[in-house]
Chains A and B, each alone.
Chain A
Amino acid sequence: MSNVHAVGSTSEDTATTEDTATTEDTATTEDTTEPIVSVENLRVSLGGTDVLHDVSIDVPEGRLVGLIGPNGAGKTTLLRAINGTVSIDSGRVTVAGVDAATCSSRRLARLVATVPQTTTLSFGFSVRETIEMGRHPHISRFGAMDDTDVAAVESAMAATAVEALADRSITDVSGGERQRVLLARAVAQETPVLVLDEPTANLDINHAARTLELVRDAVTSEALSGRAAIAAIHDLDLAARYCDELVLLADGEIKAYGSPEAVLSAESIGSAFATEVAIGTDPVTATERVVPRATVPAGAADTDCYVHVLGSGMLARETIARLAETGCSGSVGPIPTGDIAAETARLNGFSIVDAPAFRSLSMTVKDRVRARCQESDAVVVTEAIDSWQRRLLAGLDCETIAVSGGPTQSTEGSPAGNADSVDHRCSVEELVGELFDRDET
């Protein structure tokens, strides 16, 4: 990507109108205070239905902006308004100071490159020929590809790792490979603005991440200022990880706009996607992670059930996740705030009785745990218990169950010392059945 130039520097068109256009473009892109893409009060209707109403966003240069939102939210339409392929009803879209709706296709194609969701190529062009089509707006009608064009195509192919496919027919490569070819075509177009519609939809995890890295590097590169990218991304976790800003679209309106941390809240995502979600933090990338909650099948579980989980760590985490999935509410503790089970509990709406690690429990904590247990319909023990806990369990009226690790472990496994203190023992997998079977009898 290092030899991607601002649009002004590569244009070799000699027509006077194009020359003036180029000068203007350069002037605008150098002005760093101006947003490179500006959408004002955009309204678009397709087939009589309002798809976008009153959408306004400004994309400053150097940003990768992610468009998120449910199916039919208007993401693709917004992208198409920016690349000039949909006619707008009212409002204004400017790219590098140029009105996208009224300028010539050729001029806009030197400002905005598009990676479409898919392409329909009815005849067997080779991958290289397809990528060369990205140079179309840079070559005059009677001209041919010159060294600049060839170099742009070569570096785009290298950046997107499609060199190995170069001589294969575009109709013979896989869907994911085709998507990378389309990205290469857009990169070869060498425009300040890149518009991507679901660029990772068909890609494997490696290429999905590499695609977004490539785009992010392209827009944030210090050598090339005045660039930005807007991508409709389905995968919210990828969006949170790679985008500088997110735009949440739903019902043709912008519901939230800002940093991923600000936009990805359980409320905004939940209402936009009409589902309940939990927003956690990815343990690897430390970026936001959106997890939709399982929809509880009607009658499958007693959703009033309240369960206290006595324990911490991985097994407690699995237990909580399993309980939450069936619609149970509950609590966990005593547990240190940084424990992985605490995170899972928080995301699933379980209350936490927190206690500092490596210290004996204070009276307050013990009282709080006892209170939680007494309120519960059942208490699930996930680790070896001490004498205080043993006494606590003995004094409870409710059902007590000890769980042990995954399917590979026997039910006689880890909480070995609990055998005499609890009513039942089972694995995490069996827990739900165990709980509700007892409830019914």
Chain B
Amino acid sequence: MGVRQRAATYSAALAVLLAVVMTVSAGMGPVYIEPIAVTKVILNAVAVPVGMTLSSTPISAGPLQAPAIELVWHAPFSFGTERVHEQIVLGVRLPRIILGATVGFALATAGTVMQGFFKNPMADPSIIGVSSGAAVGAVAFIVVPSAIPFGIGLRGAAFVGAVVTAFLVYLIATQSGRTPVATLLLAGIAVQAFLSAVISFLQLYSGESLRQVVHWLMGHLGNARWGDVGVTVVLVPALFVIILAYGRDLNVLLLGEADAKSLGVEVERTKKILLVLSSVITAAGVAVSGVIGFVGLIVPHMVRLIVGPDHRVLLPTAALAGASFLVLTDTIARTALGGSDIPVGVVTAALGAPFFLYLLRSREVHSL
């Protein structure tokens, strides 16, 4: 079976799994809703563009007036559903579930890229300091909101912190146009250590907001609304498509940089592109969810055990599996203790680690 068929088959299966997990999850909570009812509610909300029409209100008010084009939407389904179910599923649970799926998708993608990039099974999305940077941005915003300029908000501060940190680590590790992977790894660890010190210091003086800081640092998806989901849901898949186009280069990079160059990979440029893409995709995830550990580390490993190391297959499957994994763990996080949320980061680690250890012991893992 060719690589593309393999990727398509596995991805289709995992996409179905994701849909099932999301549907079931949307029914779980203080009010239980049958999966069938959830499906009906979701299908009712689906609208497809069926045509275009010229709007009567022009785009510009000036003398050159272009008529605006409006899409005509059609909702193909109209099942009979309960109104309260619609409000719960569409208004409360689905935004959080979609956000969880997107963050899981982003973290697993970045983890896969980093493990391949560093040729190191210990690598995860935060290895070059992205998560620490996001945490510093977020915690600084929580503790001293006045220190964050431009009114970019908590998520904006976290995102900027993440991207700036990744860029800084890259600059530190680059000498005369080359970025040795080992230097990058060590620079990342050193910067992470420094940023942890900053976070600890901020926590010490956080006073009233300590609880909020700890909550953010543990990672959570609570209180997501459609407005919060928007940017991440657009950004993550777009970045993923570009990363996927570098799947073959990632495979060849695993041979070592000299080999990769002799096989036609523009090594330094590819490394730079992959670092930027995976840092931004991680930042887009952690900025909305806080630091959720373990997803980016173990999901790629679990999937690699099943589909093999080829990144053209591994990237889409790991991403989809990461999405399902985070939706599943977040469902547990918000339902396990009745009404109160457990931070999802606690659940991912508590469930993921034993499962991963089981995989390690039960399968002959010699090629990590």
The reply to whether A139 and B248 form a contact with Cβ atoms under 8 Å apart is yes
CA distance A89 to B72 in the complex (A): 64
Instruction: Report how far A106 CA is from B304 CA in the complex, Å.
Output: 28
Q: How far is the CB of A86 from chain B (nearest CB, A)?
A: 8
Check: A124 CB closer than 8 A to any chain B CB.
yes
**Interface hub of B3, B248, B266 (most chain A Cβ within 10 A):** B248
Report whether A144 and B2 are in contact in the complex, using a CB–CB cutoff of 8 Å.
Answer: yes
B193 interfacial by beta-carbon distance below 8 Å = no
Whether A113 touches B255, Cβ cut-off 8 Å, given contacts A122-B119, A124-B308, A171-B367, is no
Cβ proximity bits B249-264 to A, threshold 8 Å, 1 near / 0 not: 1011011101101111
Minimum distance in angstroms from B4 CB to a CB of chain A:
6
Is A108 interfacial (CB 8 A cutoff)? Answer: yes
Q: Which among B246, B263, B368 is the interface contact of A137 at CB below 8 angstroms?
A: B263
Q: A136 and B254: CB pair below 8 A?
A: no
Complex CA–CA separation, A84 to B264 (angstroms): 10
Give the docked Cα–Cα distance between A169 and B309 (Å): 11
- Chain B residues bordering chain A, tally (CB within 8 A): 31
Convert A112-150 into 0s and 1s, putting 1 for each residue whose CB lies closer than 8 angstroms to a CB of B: 111010011111111001000110110101101100000
**In the assembled complex, how far is the CB of residue B211 from the closest CB belonging to chain A, in whole angstroms?**
42
Instruction: Indicate with 1 or 0, residue by residue over B282-319, a CB within 8 angstroms of chain A CB atoms.
Output: 00000000000000000000001000111000000000
How many chain A residues touch B (Cβ–Cβ < 8 Å)?
37
Confirm or deny: A410 has a beta carbon within 8 angstroms of a beta carbon on chain B: no
Grouping DSSP codes into helix (H, G, I), strand (E, B) and loop, the A interface class, with mixed when no group exceeds half, is loop
For A185, give the chain B residue with the smallest CB separation. Answer: B263
Q: B267 at the A/B interface (Cβ < 8 Å)?
A: yes
In the complex, the number of residue pairs spanning A and B with C-beta atoms less than 8 Å apart equals 92
Q: Looking at the complex, which one of A123, A142, A144 makes contact with B367 (CB distance below 8 Å)?
A: A123
A:20-71 near B, CB below 8 Å: none
Is B83's CB within 8 Å of the partner chain A?
Answer: no
Q: Is A104 an interface residue (CB 8 A)?
A: yes
Q: CB of B245 within 8 A of chain A?
A: yes
At the interface, yes or no: A105 with Cβ under 8 Å from chain B? yes
- For B304, the chain A residues whose CB sits under 8 A away are 123
Return the chain A residue nearest B265 by Cβ: A105
> When the two chains form their complex, are residues B261 and A133 in contact, meaning their CB atoms are under 8 A apart?
no
Closest to A123 in B: B309
Assembled-state Cα–Cα distance A109/B4 (Å)? 24
Q: Is the CB of B308 within 8 A of A136?
A: no
Q: Does A400 contact B (CB under 8 A)?
A: no
Contact B254 A123 (CB under 8 A): yes
Q: Is residue B366 contacting chain A, with contact meaning CB distance below 8 A? A: yes
Q: Report the Cα distance A402→B262, complex, angstroms.
A: 62
Chain A residue, CB-CB nearest to B312: A144
Interface of A with B (CB < 8 Å)? 80, 83-85, 104-110, 112-114, 116, 119-126, 129, 133-134, 136-137, 139, 141-142, 144-145, 169, 171, 189, 195
